[in-house]
Structure 1
Amino acid sequence: MVTDRRTKVDFAHYIKHLVDNVFSDAKKLRIIMDNLNTHTYTSILETFEFKEAVRLISKIIFYYTPKHASWLNIVS
């Protein structure tokens, strides 16, 4: 999903898309990503009504790359 901007709302809707459409059969999604300030559970809580946000958050686990090493190639 590509958007013009990288907002909290864009991120939250993308997570919802992953949970509900792409990986709807998964019990838990483990997502590895960088530390962009919108990549948080709070983005989901601020975008959706509480019950929906809790449903989405209960299905995901975020893992973040190191803050000052997001650009590093793991292979090297």
Structure 2
Amino acid sequence: MSDTAPHRRALADRLEKAGVLTTPAWRAAVEAVPWEAFLKPGVFLPVDGGRWRAVTESGTDPAEWAETAYRDES
């Protein structure tokens, strides 16, 4: 697994800018939690036409997996 600290900081920056993170404690929590751990064994991402594709850590480039974990959407 690659270092995702830069992704955590970037997500915290986006959430802070959007007004969602309003205290240092919440920002610290976002920066501390490795979100990729919650995606195992995988996720389904939307594709064109209302369909979904399965994405797993083992079958995905580490950079893409990190981007998937730190998207600001569910």
TM-score by length of 1: 0.26
More helix by share: 2
TM-score by length of 2: 0.26
